[in-house]
Amino acid sequence: MSRIGKLPIIIPENVNVSLEDDYIFVKGKEGELKKKLVEEIKFTLKKENNRSILLISKNKQDNKTNELYGLYRTLINNMIIGVNNKFTKYLELKGVGYRSQLENKTLTLNLGYSHPIKFEVPDSINIEIENNTIIKISGIDKELVGEVAARIRNFRSPEPYKGKGIHYQGEYIKLKAGKTGKK
């Protein structure tokens, strides 16, 4: 049984959570998110000590419900955190001549290929470029921020010999030894 699913979600004062039909709506200072709920899990809003708390319980006792129990608690908690404070990921470009530019909602990457790569940024994602080699990706949806970062990183994954490519800030790349010369 999930221990994460048992924990109540404490809702901050500046975040509004509402349950309507089969959806949960979360609204905060950064924006609004909604998610379709499943019928195996029951959600209850309570007020305790001048705080709003969201409780999660199971309607059934089977494997699928146990899997969804902790998952939905984490997804909804991430929605609440995202509308209160945005999620951010940083990507670094390492390599000679690797650089990036942002024009309107198009990210242009020069990664050593014969042509520049153009990436259309989704509407709910903000991208900022710092000194042409650091890309800051931010947004209220944690899943979308991670997906955009992974798609950009996939254009030129770090290679294991010199460490060239796009990698997450703080990511450790274990380098392999190169060829040795003949004697």
Report whether pLDDT(86) > 60: yes
CATH number of 87-168: 3.90.930.12
Could you check whether 9-84 and 87-168 share the same CATH topology? Answer: yes
Domain boundaries, the chain: 9-84, 87-168
pLDDT-derived band at 7 (thresholds 50, 70, 90) equals: confident
Backbone angles phi, psi at 96, to 5 degrees: -70, 125
**The residue type at 66:** N
Q: How many CB atoms lie within 10 A of CB 59?
A: 10
Q: How many CB atoms lie within 10 A of CB 9?
A: 19
Q: How many CB atoms lie within 10 A of CB 129?
A: 16
Residue-wise pLDDT for 34-84, tens only, equals 999 888 888 888 888 888 888 888 888 888 888 888 899 999 999 999 999
Please give the pLDDT value at position 136.
95
Range 9-84 classified under CATH 3.40.50.300: no
